Structure 1
Amino acid sequence: LKNAQINEKKSLQHSDKKVPYLANLNEDPMLSYIILHYFNTDVITIGSQNSTICLTGLNILEKHATIRAIDSCKYELIAAEPGARIKVNGYNLNGSAQLRHKDRVLFGANHVYVYLNPFNEKEALPDLPSIISWDFAQKEIAKAKGYSLGNNLTVDQEEIQEKILNLLPLLSEVNAISEELNKYRTFEIVLMPMSSWEGTAVKGSK
């Protein structure tokens, strides 16, 4: 965080904010858009060590990704290694992808960013919210995983949806830990009807 803040201060001294950048998204809205990584070079490396943007945590490789300028105002995101965990707009990145204004990017298990490009704001899809939030990014990931999340829900359905969204980042971390420990197990959220629990004894109850 300190390195990111230092890089941000340096960038602000040499930039009029008219350059593309990554802004962090956090579960706490007050902590979103705090860490800003400006693209002041044609090649930006992302990884756990010796990178332009240094990230730490689960599923972050030493050389994780590269962001390369296609021209003066367009950038491409490239996985540095085949096993690098990267999601763009909820889906796994296969090789590379050209970044568009307001694209959501997940590095590793829990580093969520939104890509903002002042030069190409019109390229953003029209149905996107004016401000991308953590909740929006998590719902997108949930939909990509096959969870049906929608509007006009009942109170009970909204409660279940909120619980799923809260569990997904934790589930991602658990699976990342399992992978790093070579446990060869993948955990998933399974929704079961209440009727399936009828007659099932609960431990600790009498």
Structure 2
Amino acid sequence: EEKLREAQERAKAEGADGTNESKRKEKEAHILNVHEDPVLSKAIVYFFPPDKETKFGNRNSAGGEDILLGGLSIRPDHCRVKNEGGKLSLTVREQCKVLVNGQEMPAGTTELNHNDRLSLGTNYYFVVVNPEQAKSPPEEGWPEVDWDFLNREIAKAQGLSVDVNWSAMTEEEKRRALLNDELVQVMPRVTEANALSLEMKRGISF
């Protein structure tokens, strides 16, 4: 709710109907938040201005970053996104948790493309929008990214089975699949709890 209010205040500052922001979305690369509540998804937008490097960091230890996020899992100068000629690149620092399309990124630089899923720390989930790349969709089209899609992708990257054929399963297999599905839903909370334990040096892992 706090994030939604921030987004609404930003839109109000740009105009009652958010006209300026809408025009920027049509031309400028950006990310949109993905939230468990569909009403709150895509309510927050962060732009990547052309020929500029945008820095993400923790709001409690700001050091000149452009976008400040909260939470123990967000570090100072957590990562950076550079927009060079309409092409985006992501640079991740050592020991900073960043996922792209469910895969944890090592320290270094990698490309970011339209419709990529970007996760920062344990609380922030986004989808990348690059208007120029969006004009050339793959043959099967761009997948619709929502909370369920994003978390299943992360769970699959962590080795959980998320693709099941119910008609070919025995009752026991269906029971296990249902338990697995519940595990997929709770994984974001487990990840957050583990990150909190690590930051507080409790030595507890769930």
Unaligned 5+ runs, structure 2: none
Change in CA separation of 1:127 and 1:82 when aligned onto 2, cut-off 3 Å? farther
The aligned counterpart of 1:67 is 81
Q: Does 1:97 align with 2:110?
A: yes
Say what the alpha-carbon RMSD is for the aligned residues: 2.3
1:176 to 195, 200, 204: 195
Match of 1:36 among 45, 48, 69: 45
Number of residue pairs aligned between Structure 1 and Structure 2: 185
Q: Name stretches of at least 5 consecutive residues in structure 1 with no aligned partner.
A: 188-206
Paired with 2:54 and 2:136, the residues of 1 have a C-alpha distance of 22
Measured at CA, do residues 174 and 16 of structure 1 come closer, stay the same or move farther in structure 2, by a change above 3 Å? closer
More helix by share: 2
Is the 1:4–1:37 Cα contact (8 Å) retained in structure 2? no
Q: Hey, what does 1:121 align to over in structure 2?
A: 134
TM-score normalised over the length of structure 1: 0.79
Which residue pairs with 2:20 in the alignment? 13
Question: Between Structure 1 and Structure 2, whose CA radius of gyration is higher?
Answer: 1
Aligned twin of 1:87: 99
Note the alpha carbon deviations across 1:171-194, whole angstroms, 9 max, x for none: 11110111011123332xxxxxxx
Partner Cα separation in structure 2 for residue 164 and residue 174 of structure 1:
14
- TM-aligned CA distance change 1:128 to 1:178, over 3 Å: farther
CA deviation vs aligned residue, 1:29-88 (integer Å, no higher than 9, x gap): 1211111112225111111134222110131012211111232x1111111x20111011
Instruction: Flag as ranges the 4+ runs of structure 1 deviating above 6 A.
Output: none
- 5 Å matches for 1:140-155? 140-153=153-166
Q: What TM-score do the two structures reach when normalised by structure 2?
A: 0.79
